[in-house]
Every structure is written in C-alpha cells, then in structure tokens.
Amino acid sequence: MPIEYLKQATKTSATGEDETRQIVAGMLTELERDGESAARAYGQKLDGWDGDIEVGSDAIEAAARQVPDQLKDDLKFAYDRVRGFAERQRASIGEFEAELSPGLWAGQRLIPVDTAGCYVPGGRYAHVASAIMSITTAKVAGVKNVIACSAPSQANGGIHPAILYTMDLCEADQILALGGVQGIAAMAFGLFTGNKANILVGPGNRFVAEAKRLLFGRVGIDLFAGPTEILIIADDSADPLIIANDLVGQAEHGPDSPAWLVTTSSDLAERTMAMMPGLIAALPEVQRTAAEAAWRDYGEVVLCDTDEEAVLASDKYAPEHLEIQTSNDNWFVERLKNYGSLFVGEETTVAFGDKCSGTNHILPTKGAGHYTGGLSVHKFIKVVTTQRMTREANESVAAVTARISRLEGMEGHARTGDVRLAKYFPGKNFDLSP
C-alpha cells in the first residue's frame, strides 16, 4: 500500500525562490559596486540602524553589563558543551605521511582558513546559540580571524546585548552591526574590516541563504541552512503531546519552516493533528503567527504501513532535524541515511541540540542532507595533500605516468616523465608507449 498523506503541504522549500534570487542578486551587485556606503544604506533601510557598524570594546562592555548572571552561566554551559564536542571532532582527524611504495611518500595536511564570516540571526529572535555554534567551532578549528555579524536595532542600541556578549565570549575577532544580505556581503567583500571571508557560515532567512548560495565559489559556504525543518518518525508507542509540542517548537521559527510527521499509527497521527491548533494558539503573538502559517502551508503528516516505508519516506525528505520516537529506535538509527542531525528517543529533542547539548545546530536544509552533514570543524579546515619521492621511485612512477598520459593524448604530461627517466637512468631503455 502506498504511503498516505493525512495532511499535505501547499507550499515547498522552492516556493518563492525566483523572486528571492532576483532581489538578492540585485542587492549583491549594488553592495559590491558601492561598498560600505551601500551596506550602511541597507542597514538603515532594512534594520532602521544608523549607528556604528564596527562594534568596539565599549559597546561590548556595555552589552555585558546588561546580561543577567544566570544567562551568562547558561551561555557558558552551552559554550562548554559545543566547544567540547568541536574539540573531539578536531581530534578525530589528523595529518599523516605514508610510504605508498618504495621511495614514494604521500601525505595529508590540515590547514585552517584565514578568515571565517559567521552570520548570527538577530531579527525575529535573539539567536545567541547560533553565535556559539559558528564562532566557537571556527576557533576550535584554528581559524585566525573570525568576523561575526548580526542585525542591529534602535531598540537594542545596536546588536542585541545577549548576542553581542556571546560573540565576545566565543572570541570573535571583529563584529559588525549588519544583518541580512548586507551583512553577508560585508563579510564576503571585506567591507569595514579589510578582511575578506574565505568561508561564510551560519543560518538565516531565505535572503541570507540565497546570498550565500550566489556567493559560493567566490567564497566557501557551510551549507544551505534555512529555513529550519523538523521530521519526526513515531509509532503507536509515542506520546502525541510530546510529538505535537516538538513540531510546534520548530514551526515557531518562521512562516516557511516545515514540520513533518511520519508515522505508522493513524491514531497517533489524528491525535497529534488535533492538538496542533491549540498548542499553536497558546504561543505568544509573534511565535503564534509564524507557527500558524508554517503548519498550515508547510506541515505534513505521512501515514506508512511499515517501518521500512517510514525510513524510505524520511530519507526522501532528508530533513535538517530528525527525531525518532518509536519502540525500536535503534532499528531506525541503523537504517536512516539522510538527515542533518538525529535525535534518538523521547528524552531528547531538537531544542536541546539547538541550544546547549553540544552538537552543532547549523544543519543542511532543502534536501541537502542527501549529500552533506552540518557545520563542523572540518568545514573550516582545508585537507590538502603532499607528495615527495626518491629518484629511484621514478623508475616505476614516471614510466606509468608517461604511458597513461599518452593513452589520454596528453603528450606534454608524458614528457615530464620522460625527461626524468632520461636524467635519472641514463642509457636505460623504457617502453613509454601506451
């Protein structure tokens, strides 16, 4: 029996892409052409900010005075766990050099990028956790210069104090009071700082995500991160109240944040769907408006006959966040392949990973989980190779290279092997034809 949609989305992640692309492309052209003046103009127009763009030590100290001690402790709790996880990631990869055949050594070196640009969302919500996820991970990777930016506001007197405090806690080297496309462009083009980012990382709205996509190639990017997604696989052993709350918890991110339920239980599906309107209605106004639109336009409930069908359905979505709440969680863990981050069992949830449990919350969306994982120290490190060999090793390597090159029709390549064989082994005949 084919899977059944008990609720199907009326919109997809591709909705509105063409319009977004045109807007962002025009902005990037103007920002590159006119530089800092254009960035300031967009900051004033879109964020209502006409103050300093480059954040100095006085502003950072003032922000720290506004952050309550309990929040400082909580941010340190999150920072310690994210840093600890990133340090273990860094330790999991290393440099090496190995002798592949007599006289031929090949190796790998790990070189951090010079400058990373970390975008921290600061519009609808104060995403302090995003500062921890991006800046801390870059620093653990060994990045020399980290630029961070976030949207300012007149109400906050600049960047939200908690975000600014967190940026400093995580040791950002340069901080810009710019949000949106103008913030991304400033980091990419080296505006205000004089340092062009080698890689841009961090989540954001569709305009931020599109700006990163259009700049990819000129700079590296972490991945397509945003709008956020959640998919929950559940069976009849799951608690519908927990399921519904977890779906609502992600839907509040924004009106285009998909929330998907894949289940083998029609009873669980119906009970969960019945709870959603009430849980959404109980949210504060801003969150309620976002969650209502997200669930209405992007929410889906998929009913499957078997666990195998549920795995296939989930892997097709390749969700950013994937929760498993079943009576056989480990069976699913062993079979699921496409997701950004996995949350196993009722006891954990996306919000834990989003805020403080240690794994990174900057994760692939829009199906990118089919080919990449989330942000890690590895994204900031170039894995480059080295090679050296003795003259004696040329007897085999140069001859094989010459023959393969001639087979491919690349005579110039072949002769780089010929000339070494003639120099290192004078008078010796080699068969160098393909």
- Domain residue limits, the chain: 4-13+227-373, 35-222+378-382, 390-434
SS3 157: coil
Residue pLDDT, tens place only, 93-108: 999 999 999 999 999 9
Q: pLDDT per residue over 4-30, tens digit each?
A: 999 999 988 777 788 999 999 999 999
What does 38-59 look like in DSSP terms, one character per residue?
HHHHHHHHHH---S-SB--HHH
In 160-284, which ranges are continuous DSSP H helix?
Answer: 161-169, 180-189, 206-215, 240-251, 266-281
- Separation of alpha carbons 339 and 378, rounded Å: 18
Q: What is the pLDDT of residue 108?
A: 97
Q: What is the pLDDT of residue 17?
A: 83
284-310 confidence digits (pLDDT tens): 999 999 999 999 999 999 999 999 999
pLDDT at 16: 75
pLDDT tens profile 251-275? 999 899 999 999 999 999 999 999 9
Q: Is 370 a catalytic residue?
A: no
What average pLDDT does this structure show over 419-428? 96
Residues of the chain with pLDDT > 90, as a percent, come to 93
Average pLDDT over residues 85-91: 97
Mean pLDDT rounded to a whole number for the chain = 96
Q: State the pLDDT at residue 195.
A: 97
The active-site residue out of 229, 252, 320, 323 is 320
pLDDT at 1 over 70: no
Whether 413 is a known active-site residue: answer: no
pLDDT digits (tens, 9 = 90+) for 205-214: 889 999 999 9
What is the arithmetic mean of pLDDT over 231-241?
98
Q: Which amino acid is at 405?
A: S
State if pTM tops 0.85. yes
Residue 177, pLDDT > 90, answer yes
Q: Which residues of 36-49 are buried (b: 16+ CB within 10 A; e: fewer)?
A: eebbbebbeebbeb
Task: Determine the Cα–Cα distance for residues 281 and 283; give it in Å rounded to an integer.
Answer: 6
Tell me how far apart the alpha carbons of residues 425 and 106 are, in angstroms, rounded to a whole number: 23
Q: Which residues pair with 386 in a beta bridge?
A: 107
Does the domain at residues 4-13+227-373 carry the CATH identifier 3.40.50.1980?
A: yes
Residue of 127, 160, 253, 321 marked active site? 321
**CATH (one of 3.40.50.11540, 1.10.340.30, 3.40.50.1980, 2.60.120.260) for 35-222+378-382:** 3.40.50.1980
CB 324 within 8 A of CB 233: yes
